[in-house]
Structure 1
Amino acid sequence: MKPLSIETRNAVLRTMAKLVEQERNEIILTNQEDLADYDGSDLAMEERLKVDDKKVNEMILSLNQLASQEDPVGVERFHFTHDNGIKVVNKTAAFGTILIIYESRPDVTIEAGGIAFKSGNKILLKGGKESLKSNLKIVSLWHKALEENGVSKDWVEYLNYNRTETQTFLEKPTQKVDLIVPRGGEKLIEFVKAHATCPVIVSGRGNNFVYVHEDADTDLALKVILNAKTAKISACNALDKVLISSKLPNFEGFAAMLIEALIESKVEVIVDKSLEYFENTKTIENEDIWYEEFLDYKIVIGTIDSQDHAIDMINKYCGGHSAAIITRDNEAAQQFMESIDAAAVYQNASTRFTDGGQFGLGGELAISTDKLHQRGPIGLQHLVTNKWYVYGEGQIR
């Protein structure tokens, strides 16, 4: 498709923001139909499915922020003039067509669709059946925004496919697809990776860890852990595992205080054998639980004897998403952060900040746990590839 000017792309985004505001009540009412149809079997999915006034406000903010950001396409990254006079320039370029496959979250239809569109790409949206009515309502607004600005509706397309049809499309696309981004649970990601015939950026599992170092401020540790675990259990940046240094002064007192606070927050606490004497906890039955991302009011707490052991354990079990150390020892923190193989590493802060908006990107398409081509939150600036422009006057080699 012929590239759209930045002025046109911004105009579509601003129009879309106005339409979302105008249709606020209809979006929420339509979403309530999806919620009523959902069986409630997955607490995290139900939480992600819900659209309320706060969520609509976030959609509108995302669109307006995108419209105000600089064009990520055509940015010069490198230039070189050859001895023979040829001028070589490398610039950012749109991918072409991006397919986003996601579960439950209607706000992805806004945020991810907007990021892809602003970066000059055609978007194919494939949402889950549980949010179909909400997604179709939002896509109808995308089409209206495009038409009001003289742009073809083909730039934003919704694929209303079942699982079999999706598999067929992945294996034999009926149109050119340049990049696929699955955004959801491990089963969705494995499904896409197994059948896709073009590059895939994995927005993988969280299974995030906090390591409470021997020189930790325990009040700070308690605050960070409670926030990371309970603020939003459906988020991939939520906390699942805590490792406490056995050398922490008043180790037992801190563990007791932490476990009590988590239980008061209705979190199921599972502990290793070193902590099994605490009441109202369950003891680990299968070591495979260290690999699990819960997306639920559930946490695993274990004791660790050294920082090196903590690093090895986190690198073995975590999802490559986020990990934090709680310590006043900056040297220990730096060594931990440099050694952990994750997209985002923290000292004395909640893993809940691993988010495009919180990192100053103005939103995200997904949070990648891959190392190519972008790791962590994929913002507007990252949803581009590059292209070489070579200018000559008849030079030959």
Structure 2
Amino acid sequence: MILSTQTKNAVLNDLATLIADHSSEIIKANKSDLEKAGDLDPTLVDRLKVDEKKVQGMVASVHEVIGLEDPEGKILSSYDHPNGMKVENRVVPFGKILIIYESRPDVTIEAAVSAFKSGNKILLKGGKEARQSNLELVALWKKALAQNEVSEDYVEYLDIDRETTQKLLAENTHKLDLIIPRGGEGLINYIKQTTSVPLMISGRGNNFVYVHDNADFEMASDVILNGKSRLSVCNAIDKVLFNENIPQLEEKINGLVSKAKALGLDVHGDQKITSFDASVTEAEVEGLMPEEFLSEKILFVSTSGIEEAIATINEYSGGHSAVIISSDDESATLFQYEVDCAAVYHNASSRFTDGGQFGFGAEIAISTQKLHFRGPVGLAQLVSNKWFIKGNGQTRG
């Protein structure tokens, strides 16, 4: 059964109202999760915590999706065959999607609203650390669906153990059409090796900024520090490459290090950077380059120029986001075309790699693969296509 856009939006509008009306219950359930979190990593606690602001963010993300065009059924191309057949290519949902994610209860809302409006059914497998929060939110989903006489199986929460999850992945017991793993490389690699279901990879960050020799350094400092304004997100900055020909580089590095340390950042650097500022921890650069920090740590490295910077980023980054700070378009264009990342910025923060910031509201993931889609994935990307052919008895000779 194809749901009309009006019905989908009615469900989502009720969901937004229910979330707002039950904010205290959501926060209470989340407090229960936080109390059980124990010695959970601080970055995971940051992702796990739900406060009034997070609840408001969930409500806003639902309303954003209500305002977006429904992609389901859209005609991509149409052809009138000489024999009288009508040949159309239309947008269709994937079908049934499983998302596996850790810590973040807001994904239970944001992922599901995008999947639902694009016509998919979604199975949610959240981490055990967010169990009470997720169950509370899915109960609201069920209520919104029921209020509009829509099947509750559009949104399902898999409250299952590890063994059952492994069986699901290996045997595709739920007849999945797509799996979206959101987590570390260990989780992603395990799922790759275990299942035959197609994956949309929401990979790691390890994002870079390259500061060109003609950069506005004040702008560069603002962009770099904004890139560490949240530590637990995949669009945060971990590495900064400074062109060694930047005028007064030592003085500028000293000023940036002072600002970074004032914000509580743990600054590491190569030998050239540490020779400029003794307060910077000298790093074993090769060992740190591939690492996604998800912490206060940031690595400053000198580089000979744009070509070396591009090569370094392409070797070590997670393929998520990269930034060039430069005062000319020629170097920026070279960088943006040659750097192999899903989102490549000229003179702007990597923190904008987010569905809401790109204009399509809630996102289900940020894809770092090249097929089927790349970058923030919202409802317009959670679809496939199919050929619809209408004839009146045509046969091929």
Does TM, normalized by the shorter one, top 0.5? Answer: yes
In structure 1, runs of 5+ residues without a counterpart are none
2:51 corresponds in structure 1 to 52
The one-letter code of the counterpart of 1:253 is E
Post-superposition CA distance 1:302-333 (Å, at most 9, x none): 00011101100111000100000111011111
Is it true that 1:28 corresponds to 2:27 in the alignment?
yes
Give the Cα separation in 2 of the matches to 1:162 and 1:303: 47
1:249 corresponds in structure 2 to 247
Post-superposition CA distance 1:148-183 (Å, at most 9, x none): 111222111111123332111101122210001111
2:235 corresponds in structure 1 to 237
The one-letter code of the counterpart of 2:97 is I
Residue 164 to residue 280, structure 1, CA distance change in 2 (3 Å): farther
Q: Map 1:182-197 onto structure 2 (within 5 A).
A: 182-197=181-196
Post-superposition CA distance 1:342-396 (Å, at most 9, x none): 0000111110000000011112111000101110001111111001000111111
Q: Secondary structure at the match of 1:225?
A: helix
Give the Cα separation in 1 of the matches to 2:62 and 2:267: 39
Post-superposition CA distance 1:268-295 (Å, at most 9, x none): 1111122233222222236131011111
Q: Which moved more, 1:352-361 or 1:180-189?
A: 180-189
Q: Is the 8 A contact 2:233 2:294 kept in 1?
A: yes
Is it true that 1:276 corresponds to 2:292 in the alignment?
no
The one-letter code of the counterpart of 2:241 is L
Give the Cα separation in 2 of the matches to 1:363 and 1:69: 10
1:310 corresponds in structure 2 to 309
2:209 corresponds in structure 1 to 210
Residue 225 to residue 286, structure 1, CA distance change in 2 (3 Å): closer
Give the Cα separation in 2 of the matches to 1:188 and 1:262: 32
Q: Is the 8 A contact 1:71 1:118 kept in 2?
A: yes
Q: Secondary structure at the match of 1:71?
A: coil
Q: Is the 8 A contact 1:235 1:295 kept in 2?
A: yes
Q: Is the 8 A contact 2:203 2:368 kept in 1?
A: yes
Is it true that 1:65 corresponds to 2:64 in the alignment?
yes
2:222 corresponds in structure 1 to 223
Q: Which moved more, 1:256-265 or 1:42-51?
A: 256-265
Q: TM-score w.r.t. structure 1 length? A: 0.97
Give the Cα separation in 1 of the matches to 2:251 and 2:164: 55
1:160 corresponds in structure 2 to 159
RMSD: 1.1
The one-letter code of the counterpart of 2:61 is S
Q: TM-score w.r.t. structure 2 length? A: 0.97
Sequence identity of aligned pairs in percent?
Answer: 50
Shift of 1:10: 1.2
Q: Map 1:10-25 onto structure 2 (within 5 A).
A: 10-25=9-24
| Deviant stretches of 4+, over 4 Å | none
1:84 corresponds in structure 2 to 83
Q: Which moved more, 1:35-44 or 1:76-85?
A: 35-44
Q: Is the 8 A contact 1:40 1:46 kept in 2?
A: no
Q: Map 1:136-175 onto structure 2 (within 5 A).
A: 136-175=135-174
Give the Cα separation in 2 of the matches to 1:164 and 1:178: 21
